[in-house]
Amino acid sequence: MKLRIVKRGMWWSDGRPREPAPSAVEGSGRAGKPGSIPASIKIGKHCALALALSMALAISSVGGQIVDRVVTNVNGHVVLQSDWEQEVAFEAFSNARDPDSFTSAERNAALDRLIDQELLREQVRPSQPAPADEVAARVAELRNQVRKEVCKLHPDCATDDGWRAMLQRYGLTQSSLEKRLGDQIQLMKLVEDRLRPSIQIDQHAVETYYHDQLLPEMKKAGSRATPLPEVFGRIKDLLAEKKMNELLSGWLASLRSGSHIATPESRAGEQNR
C-alpha cells in the first residue's frame, strides 16, 4: 500500500494518498495512479532463502488444496495471499465495489500498500491497541459512508443484521473490520508524530494558493468568489495535508530503498541468475 492521508481519520480506505481537488478545497491520490511512489526493491539472497522457508511453513492444505501462500516477504515478515485478499476485499467494501472488478494493477497497488504498512510497523510496533472509542467512531464513519452507496440497492444493509450480512459477503467480520481500522489509527498516529511537527504553512503560501489556484477554479466553474478569510483555514489544512503526503511518500521511498522485499517471482529471478 501507500498510505492515504486524506483528512485526519479518513485514510487507507482505498489505501493511497489523496490530494484535495482545488475547486472543493478537499483531498484525493497512490499506487498505480498519480501520487504513487516508484521504488527500487533490494532483494538479498538470504531473503530469498527466508522466503522459501516461510512459504513452506505458511502453505497448508485441506484435501490437497492450498488454502494460503506467501506472496511477499518484507525484511523477514511474510505477507500471505489471505492478507492480500483481505486488503482487496476491504478496499472493495469501503468503495462499494465488487472485489472481482479490481484490475491487476489495482490488486498490485493493494499489495504495495500492505508492504508500506509493514515497513511503517517496523518503525514502531505499538504495545497497546488503538483506543476503543476511536475505533468505534471510525466504524460508524465507514458504516455511514458505505450506507450512502450500498443501501440504495440493498435497503436491508441499514439494519444490524443487514450490516453483518454485507460484511460477510465481502469475507469480513465486525471484529476483523475493527482490527483493520484500529491498525490504521495506530499507523496514522505514527505518521502524524513523525511528520506533522516539520510542517509549517505560512500566510504567503495560503494567499498564493488562493489567488493562483482557487480563484481561477471558482471563476471557471462560474461560482461566486469566496473571500479569502472565509476559506483561509481550509486552505491551510489542505496545504498541510498535501505536504504530509509528500513527506510520507519520501519516507516510504527511503524505507523501501533500505529494505529487503522478496516475492516468489523475485526469488525465481535470483535462482536464474
For 193-206, what is each residue's pLDDT tens digit?
999 999 999 999 99
pTM value is: 0.66
Which domains are assigned to the chain? Answer: 22-271 (1.10.4030.10)
Least confident of 27-41, 145-159, 180-194: 27-41
Residue 46 has pLDDT above 70, yes or no: no
pLDDT at 60: 38
Among all chains, which residue has been given the C-alpha cell 465486525? 174
pLDDT at 49: 39
pLDDT at 117: 92
pLDDT at 264: 61
169-175 long-range contacts, CB within 8 A, separation 24+: 170/89, 170/90, 170/92, 170/93, 170/99, 171/85, 171/86, 171/89, 172/86, 172/89, 172/90, 172/93, 174/139
**pLDDT (tens digit, 9 = 90+) per residue, 59-114?**
333 333 445 899 999 999 999 999 999 999 999 998 888 889 999 999 999 999 99
